[in-house]
Amino acid sequence: MRVDMPKHIPPGNAELSVYIDKELKTDFKLTCVAQNKSMSEVIGNLVKEWVESQPQKQPTKKNENKDAA
C-alpha cells in the first residue's frame, strides 16, 4: 500500500503542475542533477524570464510594490 506524504511547499511559493513529454522530463531532470540545481529553481527562472519578456504582461502586487519603492 502506498502512503502519500504531505508536500512541503516553502512559504511564498505555489505548486505548478504541467504535462510534458516523458523523455524531455527525464532529460531535464538529469541535466538539473548534473548542474546541482533543483527542477523548481530552473523552471521558476525560465517562467520568470518568459513573463518578463512578454510585452503585455500584467504586474503582480509583488512587482507593483517593487516599482513603487
Q: What is the pLDDT of residues 10-53, one digit of tens each?
A: 899 999 999 999 999 999 999 999 999 999 999 999 999 999 99
| Residue 48 to residues 41, 42, 63, Cα–Cα distance (Å) | 11, 10, 12
Contacts of 43 (CB under 8 A, 6+ apart): 16
Tell me what pLDDT residue 4 has.
Answer: 73
Give domain limits for the chain: 26-52
Q: How far apart (Å, rounded) are the C-alpha atoms in residues 54 and 26?
A: 28
- 40: closest CA among 29, 55, 30? 29
Which grid cell is 14?
A: 505555489
